[in-house]
Structure 1
Amino acid sequence: MMSTARSFQVPEYLNARMPAEYRGIQRDHVRLMTLDTVTGDCSHNFFNKLDSYLVEGDLLVLNNSRTIPAVLKGKRGKQTIEIRLSRKLSDREWEALIVGGVITVGEKIDLPGGLTATITGLGTEAPLIVLSFSKSGLDLLEIFYQYGEPLHYEYIETPWPIEMYQTVYASVPGSVEMPSAGRAFTWRLLNMLKGKGVNIAYIQLHAGLSYYGNDRWPNPNKHLEEFCVPVKTAELINKTRKNNGRVIAVGTTVVRALETAVNTDGNVEPQEGITSLYIQKGYPLKAVDGLITGFHEPEASHLDLLSAFIDKGLLMKAYKKALADGYLWHEFGDMNLILPMDERK
């Protein structure tokens, strides 16, 4: 049930329906609201001015997972079935959501490219199921790219190409939804930050479905996602914290991965596996100091995660300002930097 403490409504006109590039601006010219985690003070700028809030010795951690076309249209007899992939289980098995029709275990769905998918069981939670495909590995991925479409929700009216759902640095295919917090970065901005002495590191976390349709959201305690924290990234984080620098996660996916990989001594260890970590108010963050993220709808568990960074009352006050000031929501929208501000700027 939604908490009344964070009850708000996003009006239709604040749903970002198109990528920045189609609105006639560059990716990094979306708006940026900064929020001081201590005082709750807000300031307003544009994302390409991000360097004015970061200092030498800060570390940005980015998720380089690449978005795959996760929506497949198939047939069961004459009936059209839509498959929304959620999480890869093996070379040929995926957890998925079926849209359009009741499906039972053992049934087959015919897909383009001579591919079939057999329902072999139930997923980690309803309404997810497990699909076994007739092809595997790169052959299967190739069919996804050839015949699949990017996942988009009701507020997106135009089927934008898959390139619009990628960050510029995305390199490892696996996310069914774009890790959208990094979308506003350009290579120019990243190079400008590097020139200022801000370090950059990467993790992968393959983002799963964040919404099941019909007002159903994943149970945050059962939301499993595959991640990898490389050795070099773990070393950079530990070095940054030792030198009193700030570790800034680009996206809630990065927070989840890093907080999963942190040990009891507060050091991040290189790690890969599946995370089920649910971060909420009162969670003691050990690996991350700040966060770059988009604006989240009231029902999203992402908001619970934000409450680990900043008092919920201050967060809701800032969100009300963002609504009043016309900030745009969702993956093509504006950005929010949540950070203890540094007086050395």
Structure 2
Amino acid sequence: MQTEAFKFELPASLNADMPPERRGIRRDYVRMMVLDRASGSSTHTSFYNLPRYINSGDLLILNSSRTVPAVLRAEWRQKRIVRAQDIEIRLARRLSNSNWEALPVAEGLSCGDQLLFSSELRATVISTSKPPFVTLAFSKSGVKLYDHIYALGEPIRYEYIKQMWDLDYYQTVFATTPGSVEMPSAGRAFSWELLFKLRSQGVRIAYLQLHTGLSYLLDDKWHLEPRDHYEEFIIPEETAEAVAETKRAGGKIIAVGTTVVRALESAAGLNSGLTGQTGWTNLQIDETFPLKIVDGLITGLHEPEASHLDLLSSFISPTLLRNAYEEAIREGYLWHEFGDMNLII
């Protein structure tokens, strides 16, 4: 299924423009549509009922990457001349302890230009070879750089979000290591209470990290293909071992988010079996892709023509998926990172 073929009209009223907590419900009380992979039959429930649909012995894998406030503002200096006093810089992905690929909301940046974010933090443009992105070398690195980013930045928000919400609303409860510029939102609906309930009924839980990159480039003339969208992943050895043990025992591997699917399937494709490893992935998954690891998926609802819909079609046929999305619209489900959930199993 090509994304351009998966078109539907999403009413503006179904764009979730605020966190569920600000709508008066707990994060794990959002709605959930459960889809049967084979038949496409659907059940409508709430996310806190997830334990009814995952069995003892199954393995739930979550992305523990922490969201960084990736929107920064800087003074732009070119050959010591101030070109602009306040331009927006959107971090796109971390390349090293001090280097980031970034999207400037301005034109004309050149190698050697300086960006002053504060009296203590600056960056030098060291590459412009991948427009519209530039590569920045920051004056700080590692934890110190993150400290400044967290002090200065704001979370990325898109046009359907009308109000600036605190960064805490863009975090999952289990997030640990900073690195994602957009929230790994499939895990947002989990509460610690729900995770403990799953554990108590025998569901295993493991973690990996895939640091999500910038997906929206602000200008229609730039289009980022999935194969151009490299993201860093880290799979701990204990997670790989948990996958192997679950498979041997006949349990299902349930990925929380398309990020987890891409990390696991990329790692499995690099080796004869899944092992603990670190790498970069630009894996594009669609209905022709033979899933090697993942048996089920927890995800949000994705906008028309999104590449995520191609990935979902590796779990359920495009026709059944389209029918389910049309049903979700009729049922009034809410879309995007603050919206409702979808379990495909």
2:315 match: 309
Given that 2:92 and 2:103 are in contact with CA atoms closer than 8 Å, whether structure 1 keeps it comes out as yes
Superposed, 1:174-189 pairs within 5 Å as 174-189=179-194
Choose the corresponding residue for 2:336, options 330, 335, 342: 330
How many angstroms does 1:266 deviate by?
Answer: 6.2
For residues 229-248 of structure 1, the C-alpha deviation after alignment (integer angstroms, 9 at most, x for no partner) is: 11110011111111111100
Which deviates the most, 127-136 or 18-27? 127-136
Superposed, 1:184-263 pairs within 5 Å as 184-215=189-220, 216-262=222-268
Is the aligned partner of 1:85 residue 2:95? no
How many angstroms does 1:263 deviate by?
Answer: 5.0
Given that 1:221 and 1:276 are in contact with CA atoms closer than 8 Å, whether structure 2 keeps it comes out as yes
How many angstroms does 1:279 deviate by?
Answer: 1.1
Cα distance in 2 for residues equivalent to 1:272 and 1:313: 35
Q: Which amino acid aligns with 2:30?
A: V
1:147 match: 152
Unaligned stretches of 5+ in structure 1?
Answer: 340-345
Could you say what the CA RMSD is over the residues aligned between the two structures, in angstroms?
A: 1.6
SS of alignment partner, residue 332 of structure 1 = coil
The TM-score normalised by the length of structure 2 is 0.94
Superposed, 1:1-345 pairs within 5 Å as 3=3, 5-76=5-76, 77=82, 78-122=84-128, 125-215=130-220, 216-262=222-268, 267-339=273-345
Cα distance in 1 for residues equivalent to 2:21 and 2:4: 36
Cα distance in 2 for residues equivalent to 1:323 and 1:155: 17
Q: Which amino acid aligns with 1:273?
A: G
2:79 match: none
Tell me the number of residue pairs that the alignment of Structure 1 and Structure 2 aligns: 338
Given that 1:95 and 1:129 are in contact with CA atoms closer than 8 Å, whether structure 2 keeps it comes out as yes
How many angstroms does 1:105 deviate by?
Answer: 2.3
SS of alignment partner, residue 112 of structure 1 = coil
Cα distance in 1 for residues equivalent to 2:40 and 2:224: 29
Cα distance in 1 for residues equivalent to 2:273 and 2:199: 24
SS of alignment partner, residue 28 of structure 2 = helix
For residues 125-171 of structure 1, the C-alpha deviation after alignment (integer angstroms, 9 at most, x for no partner) is: 43221111122222211110111111111111111111100000001
Given that 1:168 and 1:185 are in contact with CA atoms closer than 8 Å, whether structure 2 keeps it comes out as yes
Given that 1:81 and 1:101 are in contact with CA atoms closer than 8 Å, whether structure 2 keeps it comes out as no
Percent identity over paired residues = 53
For residues 149 and 289 of structure 1, do their structure 2 counterparts lie closer, same or farther at Cα, with a shift above 3 Å needed? same
Cα distance in 1 for residues equivalent to 2:269 and 2:325: 33
Given that 2:3 and 2:306 are in contact with CA atoms closer than 8 Å, whether structure 1 keeps it comes out as no
For residues 2 and 213 of structure 1, do their structure 2 counterparts lie closer, same or farther at Cα, with a shift above 3 Å needed? farther
Which deviates the most, 264-273 or 210-219? 264-273
Q: Which amino acid aligns with 1:49?
A: N
Which deviates the most, 318-327 or 208-217? 208-217
Q: Which amino acid aligns with 2:264?
A: L
For residues 315 and 262 of structure 1, do their structure 2 counterparts lie closer, same or farther at Cα, with a shift above 3 Å needed? same
Q: Runs ≥4 in structure 1, deviation > 6 angstroms?
A: none
For residues 273-295 of structure 1, the C-alpha deviation after alignment (integer angstroms, 9 at most, x for no partner) is: 11121111210000100100001
The TM-score normalised by the length of structure 1 is 0.94
Unaligned stretches of 5+ in structure 2?
Answer: 77-81
1:342 match: none
Q: Which amino acid aligns with 2:52?
A: S
How many angstroms does 1:114 deviate by?
Answer: 2.6
Cα distance in 1 for residues equivalent to 2:138 and 2:161: 29
Given that 1:240 and 1:246 are in contact with CA atoms closer than 8 Å, whether structure 2 keeps it comes out as yes
For residues 2 and 310 of structure 1, do their structure 2 counterparts lie closer, same or farther at Cα, with a shift above 3 Å needed? closer
SS of alignment partner, residue 87 of structure 2 = strand
Cα distance in 2 for residues equivalent to 1:264 and 1:223: 18
